[in-house]
Amino acid sequence: MEKDDGTGERLDEEVEGLRRRVSELEQAEKEMLRVRKALEQGMEALNIVLENSHDILAILGKDGIISYISPSVERITGYNRDRLIGTNALETIHPEDMERFLVAFTAGMVKPGKAINMEARYRHVDGTWHFMEAQGINLTDNPVVGGMVVTARDITDRKAVEEELKRSESYYRSLIRNAADMIS
């Protein structure tokens, strides 16, 4: 009769341990696929939001180079998004607004967390000048962002309404002044 040294039992235990480990890995893989799918759905939803936003979201490096710009830029400005990435944001700023833009941008880049607000004209792809309102925050210290996050909105229509309102107020003021002169 052969002596049982426990080898068979140890092998059975090892096989059972390996089976448990394979089962754990299969469960981990299923969870990873679930997380990946949720992440893809979240990214798809974010892209839909960015495409349909009335605002442009961009990340500018310290040198003003665009490292990211939202898909809405094409609908708002007419510029191809992929062609803008890697270009300098200053290229479309009106020459008369350039110094003010540079001062605000430079001031914003002085310190992480610093916020800026400004208005400037930009050249639309059709060659016309439009007004843009922008807010930025310096996130250069954030390794994921590494630049200034800028949210910009075309305010050309609002500016036109404001200008018309000024003209209208001026017209009515002059009517009132002239009417007062005629009465006296």
pLDDT tens per residue across span 42-96: 999 988 888 888 899 999 999 999 999 999 999 999 999 999 999 999 999 999 9
For the chain, the average pLDDT equals 90
Checking DSSP bridges between strand 115-123 and strand 129-139, what pairing results, if any?
antiparallel
Is pTM beyond 0.75? Reply is no
C-alpha 55/C-alpha 78 separation (Å) is: 14
Cβ(29)–Cβ(36) under 8 Å? Answer: no
52, amino acid identity: N
Report the phi/psi class of residue 113: left, alpha or beta, with left for phi > 0 and alpha for psi in -120 to 50: left
**15, pLDDT greater than 60:** yes
* Predicted pLDDT at 2: 57
User: Is residue 154's pLDDT more than 90?
Assistant: yes
Structure-token match 């936003």, residue found: 53
Can you tell me the mean pLDDT for 96-121?
93
Token pair of 80 as six digits: 């191809």
- Asked whether residue 114 carries a pLDDT value surpassing 80, the answer given is yes
* 48 phi, psi to nearest 5 deg: -65, -45
Residue 184's pLDDT is 63
Amino acid (1-letter code) at residue 165: L
| CA–CA dist 41, 35 (Å, integer) | 10
pLDDT score recorded for residue 81: 94
C-alpha separations of 26 from 18, 23, 34, 36, 38 in Å:
12, 5, 12, 15, 18
- How far apart (Å, rounded) are the C-alpha atoms in residues 89 and 170? 37
